[in-house]
């Protein structure tokens, strides 16, 4: 049997405004999500129980398999659907962990899509389960441009046809960054609502740079590349990205990325 396959696309926050802290300890944000063509890869085959094999350049950076969001998503879907079927899941971990581009959330969302197809389930079930797996999981489940409000899980689809196919370069200094630590370091100042994402900002950038100063170096380097039209940190960092005016400029920048940094040359969906 040919395994079912899914891509867990890298997530980008084109802008991220933090508006305040919620009673549940999370934060109210306003953001615009966009997604890349490339990301982690998942496959699954029918099996008697649930199992996970992790490979790829960042596979060894993950914790014990039982704590992995992929298995948590699979178990939640199986329990909600009240089925006894299993799946042998394989995760090809190509994106760095704790990097602000949705790695774990994208993997969980891709697992929901993958097993919904493999087990022949109603897609609405995955939509119901996604918020409990993480604030970014609902957006990653769609993997299409959307505006996120609340904790980021209240979604409104946005039409950004001008961005489809845009060349993008992602760069990370290879330093994991805790989302919780970055939000804890936010200064608590509400700097206003998010309108046009191009005129927006990432309110977590200062906190992230305080924890990982190399982010500032990455942003400056991306801004200096020929053809880079828009540069920003994604999510809680430490990954940053640049949108380019043409593929040749993106590829030239990718060739010049310092060896100690991770990078991904891709395009937007």
| pLDDT tens track for 97-156 | 999 999 999 999 999 999 999 999 999 999 999 999 999 999 999 999 999 999 999 999
pLDDT higher than threshold 80 for residue 157: yes
CB atoms within 10 A of CB 119: 18
pLDDT higher than threshold 90 for residue 2: no
Beta-strand relationship, 146-149 and 167-172: unpaired
pLDDT higher than threshold 80 for residue 63: no
pTM of the model: 0.96
DSSP string, 151-219: TTTEEEE---GGGTT-EEEEEE-S----HHHHHHH----------SGGG--BTTHHHHHHH-THHHHHH
Mean pLDDT of 186-214: 98
**Residues catalogued as catalytic:** 11, 136
- At residue 64 the predicted structure's pLDDT band, cuts being 50, 70 and 90, is low
The pLDDT score that the predictor gives to residue 62 is 82
CB atoms within 10 A of CB 23: 5
Mean model confidence pLDDT for the chain? 96
Distance CA 35, CA 195 (A): 19
3-state class (DSSP) for residue 4: strand
3-state class (DSSP) for residue 118: helix
All structural domains of the chain: 4-156 (3.30.230.10), 162-267 (3.30.70.890)
């Amino acid at each position: 049997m040919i395994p079912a396959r899914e891509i867990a696309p890298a997530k980008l926050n084109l802008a991220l405004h933090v508006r305040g802290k919620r009673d549940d300890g999370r934060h109210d944000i306003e953001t615009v999500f966009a997604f890349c063509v490339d990301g982690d890869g998942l496959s699954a085959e029918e099996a008697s129980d649930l199992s996970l094999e992790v490979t790829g350049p960042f596979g060894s950076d993950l914790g014990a398999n039982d704590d992995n969001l992929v298995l948590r998503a699979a178990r939640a879907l199986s329990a909600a659907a009240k089925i006894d079927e299993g799946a042998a899941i394989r995760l090809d971990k190509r994106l760095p962990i704790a990097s602000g581009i949705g790695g774990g959330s994208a993997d969980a969302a891709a697992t929901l899509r993958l097993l919904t197809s493999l087990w022949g389930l109603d897609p609405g079930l995955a939509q119901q389960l996604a918020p409990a797996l993480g604030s970014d999981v609902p957006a990653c489940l769609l993997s299409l441009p959307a505006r996120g409000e609340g904790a980021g899980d209240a979604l409104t689809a946005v039409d950004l046809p001008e961005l489809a196919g845009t060349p993008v370069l992602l760069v990370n200094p290879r330093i994991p960054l805790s989302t919780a630590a970055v939000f804890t370091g936010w200064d608590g100042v509400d700097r206003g609502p998010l309108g046009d994402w191009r005129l927006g900002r990432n309110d977590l950038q200062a906190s992230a740079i305080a924890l990982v100063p190399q982010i500032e170096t990455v942003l400056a380097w991306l801004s200096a590349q020929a053809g880079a039209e828009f540069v920003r940190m994604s999510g809680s960092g430490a990954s940053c990205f640049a949108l380019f005016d043409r593929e040749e400029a993106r590829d030239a920048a990718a060739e010049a990325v310092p060896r100690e940094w991770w990078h991904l040359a891709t395009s937007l969906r």
